[in-house]
Structure 1
């Protein structure tokens, strides 16, 4: 019988890197603790951007997507979803909003998990939304080069309800005891949830929503302003590698949580640093022009960005202004286009 050792996390041996990341997260949380008061207006803009990015990224990881224009309309509830993908996107939007607005009323228990899953699939018409799986399944890792691998065969369907109940109980007991950092407990909880794979579909998305919820309830709200899901999507290969490394010996209660915890904490560090960078862009001593902000953003992101991504990352300026400045910077040879048509992205020209 699978058990959850949340007193020691299977006698977890903390690495120097994990200790460093924990220390950094607590420091960054302290550094940003006054933002809600000092930068209220700016944070509201970041919340709106993060909601879109989180909904888009978490679904794209599972191969679910729609056009940018449709996505924005779905996020503002201006259109009805017209296909299966948009129905699932709308469901994620609703669960995400619920967590943002009511996390303090959402205990970590079976009822919350089932209610979230039911809401996730409420537009699809599936009769298994909000119900644990009734057939056995497998956890498939999908890699960037297109190949798939079976990561683990989860426990059988009949034992799933009991495992989720035990998982929540063990998490809550350890959280109340506070002998282990809530960040480590959050990571272990999310990892074990994915490993149980309790539903027919939506397990990955549910794990990312539970990541946000457990972090909220632990006092780490960076996921409200910066999309954790997008950071995970951008590092999807490392995500699957960490899952695979921590899966070895899971059914025998001998798995090492450290690889996944290390990855998980890295996501949170990245989110806090991005939050600080974004607030810094808002409040540069001498306000940057749209062209300067485009260059600064491309330098910080270290990857090609589409026009829509730049518009989201630079909410101070309109889409028309961003588009005009991109043309100018390209003409001057400061940036170059990668790709063409609707898939064109921009990068600093060496």
Structure 2
């Protein structure tokens, strides 16, 4: 995963990269974001920061390369795998209601859907320890790559499940951590089986409406983004490189693993409410934050990633999720104590540099 590679590299950087000027965090973040755009790493960057007392938003760059209108801080963007945190939250709410238990085997609720479903638990799905094959690893099924006209194809969850199970898991469930979007396709089906309603409607009913997240949506088969939004681009490996506009796509290929659309302010409200215990019981929140080693430099809970930032006064854990779809990168993080950072980037000709990403995190959480 590109995001994990970026963050793994970034978090290995010495705390000496933390800004040392007397400027305010807001002015430093402004300069850091401007630097990304001016160095042509991204076409637009949106940021929303809460320092525990005050909030600050900004947008830099342009919405698109044709009109070059300024990016809007209230712009919509594809949040990719941050969708997984919404889905996990709904399932933990269902656990709180006694509709299922985290250690229930999948077959108890979705018989004959998952191979070996009697040995794979709900917890293992949400934690990525089920070892189910990732359907997005199959050729033509990744929304992180240009797919031409195929990006407008629509899919059903059952079709994605069928793609996933063309290959079998080769390890016993629970033994290893392996990121797989298939886990959250199954999680979405589980929500639908338990509630009798589309998973997206449950996300709206249980999270979006109670938190007044009016600019967050579950798009289904809608290919366009709500206005305003920055466009996403992808360079093709031609000589010279050809830049294609990848903004429009049918998001059903991502479904419950990554289809949602939001804004920086809405995501700030969501991750803050979740980590402050407003959406689940404290017991369920503790389960979400109970992590397993996923990489030498980050850990994974139930729909939550835990990263440790190299602050000058010592390591600082932050919680949330990252997301990536073609043309869009998202970081939605909080320390659970009042500080939060949501960052949306539109990569252009190359990936954002790791030092720039970690510096933004350090400025937001360590000052």
Q: What TM bracket, shorter-length normalisation?
A: under 0.3
Q: Tell me the TM-score normalised to structure 1 length.
A: 0.26
More helix by share: 1
Q: Tell me the TM-score normalised to structure 2 length.
A: 0.25
Larger relative contact order (C-alpha < 8 A, sep ≥ 6)? Answer: 2
More strand by share: 2
